[in-house]
Structure 1
């Protein structure tokens, strides 16, 4: 019989086939999640023309999915700590994939909005669970890198959405890009087979046989023995509740996370919904306007992966503050007249530091909370942040309706970047889960030294 600290075992494991499998399936889920979300910005100009929507009506219609995402993140983020991340992920896939497909058959704005709300439940619910699962299984040295690589699937999905929009819409109509949303449901049997559940949840459920099999795959040097005592962080795994996000001096930091997510998601969804239309208004054709959306999401991939690497090498909090600040600057500059090349560069930087920042926010909050409340922490930060996501498209529509000078549209989206940077500054590092883990290791080392001397 052995006493196994699961957290330490996962932290010190070497990246292997098991980690690659979790990364692959998690990233694939996020790719389709991102595709289903960004798709609205792709079809927005056509829907405005088809249904004679005003900019404000179009912005409100875009917020239906974001309302769904808010409730989905709150519901499934907390629920998964009770029913398991894998089960929650499967439910969410059926929601966002099935209702995205059905949206292609919508004939009125009301039908479209209701279906987008239902799809949004799954889109918002799957994010905190996949991020929590990837964080739980990532070795500490490359945790931020793996989470950001996985979450870069969101931007790949956004690029796929814009790319297929350029190819499919002229030939098959706007509905065609929604039909593609059915693909994830076809992959569910494979996801059930290959994607593992949270080892923390399995231990809490008393499913020790499954737990030790997973742990032996994470670290092949671990040889399970009958009656092994599995613990995480030196504490027995306990249930999750929202109240725990505010305990152990985490209250102020929890609120700061919520503000940071709010600001970040306002920028992200405002841009994803309105960038093609803004560029269309500035004189660019629909095809070239969608190209700007491609560049935005391509920049996001570079920003996320680069930011994750910088976070592992230096300090994730510092990197996050820097990204928020650069986002504010690049968005402000987008509103001024520039050459096409400079415009593409600024949009790529904006993508890297808005969508990329969103991904880093998920990575940071996932590392901040202990495993038994991780999904709850991510889910509530994401859920509260969805209020910003909801306001993003509405803000864009309002600005368009007011017919303000072109540069004001982008300056309005830059302000949240500065506020987000300030919020991250006030997140207390010393009360984070990773900091406590380091202190535990130091205390253990001192205890071992004392025993050795005696």
Structure 2
């Protein structure tokens, strides 16, 4: 009988059809997360006209939806450890699809707001569980690439919403955005059939047959069977406790607060732009079609910022890249409030995407790597929770700014303030108290363990 560490088998595996299938489903699910955030901003100009909404009302609806996402993240993400990540993802997809369709059928703004809130609860639990499963099932050598590529799905979802707004909504009405948002409901049976549950979930429940089935797909020549003894790393098995206090021990207090400030400001910018960009550009004199094309450029900037920033972070480190991108954002938003050159506006919008969502995607792994393994999930979870508060406030705060009567494009200058604060937050992170060196040592030890385990499996 062999003693096999299931996590090591996955980490040492070569990318194959199984990994591709997990990636495509996670990419698909997170793509609809991005679509959900963007479709409200895309459809907003038509909704405001049909229901005679004020900017404050429109901003409040956006905030309610983001509040629903925070509730979903707080409730649905943690319960996945008990009920299974795959099962929770299915629940999230059902909630999102059903209530998004209901929002499209809403007869008035009250029903629409309630349906959006309920749909957002489903969306809130989706991304954390998709990222977790993609991380678990990625070969070690491609883990960073695969997890990073998933975030691109978020931006592509925003592009899809913008294209629908440009070409389908004028032929029908804004509700078509929400009808299309119900598509995941149709694909759930196939998802259930093809998508794997977490190995840790199966092992905790002694469902060895399912573990064997997955590992034989991960490593087809492994010849795994139910007679073998399957384990996970001790860190993976010890998931109890909620060590919040450890975020503030061993000289980590200052950096923890700095992370929270940076994420709060980043999410405020990202969700403020996603909600209001098309309307701001329309009010600035651009046609609605042109306004939506700016939204596409914003999403392309998010992709560019994630890819280019990730490459540079591997060369010079996350901190320098993050601070630099935020400072570029400061210049970008001030310039956007002043220029009237259309070509320059497109370039600046691209940079705006790179310095908001693009930089947010880079900040997540940096925060995760700062903390020791035993509190990484807690550190990232609390940073995201604080950030969600910023995202909730953003739509309403921008609306309050717009109703003051200032020139619409001057609202962009307001984004320079959180961009400066976010740069300052990351600049003040005390890396000497982080676990980066420890992480490197862990990876070296893990490499040795992987090699030993590979020899056991092959023998």
Same fold (TM over 0.5): yes
Unaligned runs of 5+ in 2: 450-459
Superposed, 1:269-284 pairs within 5 Å as 269-284=271-286
Aligned equivalent of 1:382, options 381, 384, 402: 384
Separation of aligned partners in 2, 1:432 and 1:313: 19
SS in structure 1 at match of 2:91: helix
Deviates more, 1:426-435 or 1:407-416: 426-435
CA distances 1:128-181 after superposition (whole Å, capped 9, x unpaired): 111122222223443332212111111111111111111222121111111111
1:451 maps to which residue?
A: none
Q: Which moved more, 1:163-172 or 1:210-219?
A: 210-219
Could you tell me which residue of structure 1 aligns to residue 345 of structure 2?
Answer: 343
Partner-residue secondary structure (3-state), 1:239: coil
CA deviation after TM superposition for structure 1 residue 109, in Å: 1.9
1:412-447 Cα deviation digits (max 9, x unpaired): 112222222333345566777775453235568999
Q: Which residue of 2 aligns with 1:110?
A: 110
Partner of 1:403, secondary structure, is coil
The correspondence of residues 189-338 of structure 1 with structure 2, limited to 5 A, is 189-220=189-220, 222-224=222-224, 226-232=227-233, 234-235=234-235, 237-243=237-243, 246=246, 249=250, 254-312=256-314, 315-338=317-340
The answer as to whether partners of 1:200 and 1:372 remain within 8 angstroms in 2 is: no
CA RMSD of aligned residues (A): 2.9
Aligned mates of 2:8, 2:392 — CA distance in 1:
39
How far did residue 23 of structure 1 move?
1.1
Alpha-carbon distance, 1:216 to partner = 4.1
Once the 2 structures are TM-superposed, how far is the Cα of residue 67 of structure 1 from its aligned partner? 0.7
Paired residue secondary structure (2:275): helix
1:418 aligns with 2:407: no
| Counterparts of 1:306 and 1:384, CA distance in 2 | 27
Q: Are the counterparts in 2 of residues 135 and 366 from structure 1 also a CA contact under 8 Å?
A: no
- Structure 1 distance, partners of 2:427, 2:117, is 34
Unaligned segments of structure 1, at least 5 residues = 448-454
Q: 1:275, CA displacement in angstroms?
A: 0.8
CA distance in 1, matches of 2:59, 2:192: 37
- Cα distance between partner residues in 2 of 1:373 and 1:202: 23
**Contact 1:59/1:394 (8 A) holds in 2:** yes
CA distance, structure 2, for counterparts of residue 242 and residue 392 of structure 1 = 29
Task: Tell me whether 1:71 sits opposite 2:71 in the alignment.
Answer: yes
After superposition, the Cα gap between the structure-2 partners of 1:431 and 1:30, relative to the gap in structure 1 and judged at 3 Å, is farther
- TM-score scaled to structure 1, two decimals? 0.88
Most deviating of 247-256 and 322-331: 247-256
Give the deviation of 1:202 after TM superposition.
2.6
Spell out, residue by residue over 1:199-225, the C-alpha distance to the aligned partner (whole angstroms, 9 max, x if none): 233323333332344344334564436
Tell me the distance in 2 between the aligned counterparts of 1:305 and 1:245: 34
Give the stretch that moved more between structures: 381-390 or 34-43.
381-390
- Structure 1 position 354 matched with structure 2 position 356: yes
Task: Report SS of the residue matched to 2:160.
Answer: helix
C-alpha distance in 1 between matches for 2:189 and 2:111: 30
Between the aligned partners of 1:130 and 1:246, the Cα distance in structure 2 is 26
Q: Normalising by structure 2, report the TM-score.
A: 0.87
Q: CA deviation at 1:251?
A: 6.0
